[in-house]
Amino acid sequence: MARKNGCELKIDLMCSGLRVPALVTPAVSTGMRRTRAGLGSGLELIVRGRSRDTHVNAPVTERFARSSPYRLEEREDGLVIFDDRDGARFTVEVPPPPAWYGSTTSRGTTMSRLGVMQGTYLAVYVGKVCSFWTMEPPKRCAFCTTGLNVGNAEEAEKAVEDIVETATAAKRENGVTFVHFNSGFHSDSGVELVAPYVRAIKRGVGALVGVQLAPDPDLSKYDRLIDMGVEHFSFCYEFHDPDFFRKYLPGKDAHATQKRFFDAMEHTARRLGKGRVSGEIIAGIEPLEDTLRAIDYITSAGAFPTICIFRPLSGSDLEGRQPPSYADMRAVFAYAAEALRKNGVPVGLAPNLEVSIVPTPADILDLGPDTPEFRLFVLKNRLMKRAAWPYFRWRMRRHDPGAF
Ligand code: SF4
């Protein structure tokens, strides 16, 4: 078996999970946080690589992880992951939980209940718990655990001032460059809900901002958020096959519709340009051909696919399922890498932006075909990343973008 590169190990850990012996657990698991939809509920790891490090959130507590071939060991020289199938070993680090997790804001809220580090960016859920969890009967997405987390592991509602203080601490202590806001479904898309946070981050912190909300039929609202400085949108439509969309996302099907996701993604991708917007899907539930169709559609719209490897989260409706196979997922991400090239979608340009909960477009460049065209694509991305630095520095200046 050929030794896996960082991206391949990330994919396999997400498919197989990681066994963490009881003796190691207390030392490393203090940073494990079950927030938002739950995808980041595992152990944050950094796999050191020759050219770049890979950040991964490895499932640990889910049932399937108990039979993983991967186990974590604490050696004198640090932490190592062993693959029991072939004895391969990978040196890893567990980033210490940010010191600010234990701090409180001036309003007395513990910062770890406001935002969470998922790789090198700050992730914040805003608004009340998603209404798909509270409807009678519930219409929650089958893979989601937001309703178990918001109000428990994190604050049920978050004051704008608290988020500014938390993001300031994350920027100061962790060099955070990107703050990502998401929310569940409310009576509307949530654009009005998120706008004050965007303004406050731009004015008081100075960081790149991403937004992930239910799609709004009034596309002019996105124009206004773009005018306020939002750099990135992601639209989680999850499944390309309308039957799967209907079956596993009853709330989104009834109250958002797949078409609305497509319209919002296409509109914002047109407005912001290639590589700035993401279509988010889950791989490992619908047939692979549908996942590949989704990748073709998303990249042809100038967006990049954010592909979540299905994680049967404890407490979700699908907790009894098995995650997909490594071989299938590797094929999906290799396909996505080539689709990005074919459609000329630049990736990984933003500074210090590593994501642990999904294999990112920048991670998957390692899986592309060994062709001159793909090598040129990788080289162009590297050069663009360097050239884009002054632009991003300007975008990260503190300024008041005005009200929504
Ligand atoms: S929209 Fe679906 S995935 Fe998002 S919070 Fe609500 S139930 Fe969870």
Distance (Å, rounded) from C-alpha 270 to C-alpha 49? Answer: 35
How is residue 381 written in tokens? 């991305």
* 370 plus 331 within the same structural domain: yes
CA of 98 to the centre of ligand 1 (A): 27
What is residue 36's predicted lDDT score, i.e. its pLDDT?
A: 59
The residue nearest atom 5 of ligand 1, judged by CA position, is 184
* Nearest ligand 1 atom to alpha carbon 133: 7
Residues 105 and 69 in one domain: no
Tell me if 26 is assigned to some domain.
yes
Distance from residue 166's CA to the centre of ligand 1 (Å): 24
Residue 400 domain-assigned?
no
| In a shared domain, residues 185 and 229 | yes
pLDDT recorded at residue 29: 58
Reading the block at residue 70, the tokens are 């991967």
Last residue of a domain, one of 63, 93, 123: 93
Residue at 125 is within a domain: yes
The answer on 82 and 180 residing in a single domain is no
Ligand 1 atom nearest residue 249's Cα: 2
The 122-125 sheet, strands edge to edge: 116-117, 122-125, 178-182, 208-212, 232-238, 277-283, 304-309
Q: Same structural domain for residues 176 and 296? A: yes
Whether residue 124 sits in one domain with residue 86 = no
Domain stops at, among 93, 117, 149: 93
pTM of the model: 0.94
Asked, for residue 379, whether it belongs to a domain, the answer is yes
How many domains does one find in the chain? 2
Same domain? For 107 and 212 the reply is: yes
**Nearest residue (CA) to ligand 1, atom 1:** 184
Co-location of 170 and 73 in the same domain:
no
Ligand 1 atom 6, closest CA: 184
Pull the structure tokens for residue 188.
């509307």
Is residue 84 domain-shared with residue 107, that is, in the same domain? no
| Domain C-terminal end among 45, 69, 93 | 93
In a domain, 403, yes or no: no
Domain-located, residue 135: yes
Q: Are residues 253 and 364 in the same domain?
A: yes
Boundaries of domain holding 29: 6-93
Closest atom of ligand 1 to 143 CA is 3
**Same domain flag for 79 and 136:** no
Whether 225 maps to a domain, the answer reads yes
Q: How far is the CA of 369 from the centre of ligand 1 (A)?
A: 35
For residue 46, the model assigns a pLDDT of 94
In this structure, the strands spanning 232-238 and 277-283 are parallel
- Report pLDDT for 18: 96
89 & 128 share domain: no
Nearest atom in ligand 1 to the alpha carbon of residue 139 is: 7
Say which CATH number the domain at 358 has.
3.20.20.70
Q: What is the pLDDT of residue 26?
A: 56
**Count, residues in the chain:** 404
pLDDT tens for the chain, 404 residues long, are 688 999 999 999 999 999 998 756 655 655 566 665 567 788 999 998 878 899 999 999 899 999 999 999 988 888 999 999 999 999 999 988 899 999 999 999 999 999 999 889 999 999 888 999 999 999 999 999 988 877 677 888 899 999 999 999 999 999 999 999 999 898 877 999 999 999 999 999 999 999 999 999 999 999 999 999 999 999 999 999 999 999 999 999 999 999 999 999 999 999 999 999 999 999 999 999 999 999 999 999 999 999 999 999 988 999 999 999 999 999 999 999 999 999 999 999 999 999 999 999 999 999 999 999 999 999 999 999 999 999 999 999 999 999 89
Question: Helices H, strands E: what count in the chain?
Answer: 14, 12
Measured from CB, residues less than 6 Å from any atom of ligand 1 are: 37, 130, 132, 140-141, 144, 146, 184-185
E-strand stretches of 227-356: 232-238, 277-283, 304-309
Give residue 260 CA to ligand 1 midpoint distance, Å.
16
The pLDDT assigned to 335 comes to 98
The answer to whether residue 104 is domain-embedded is yes
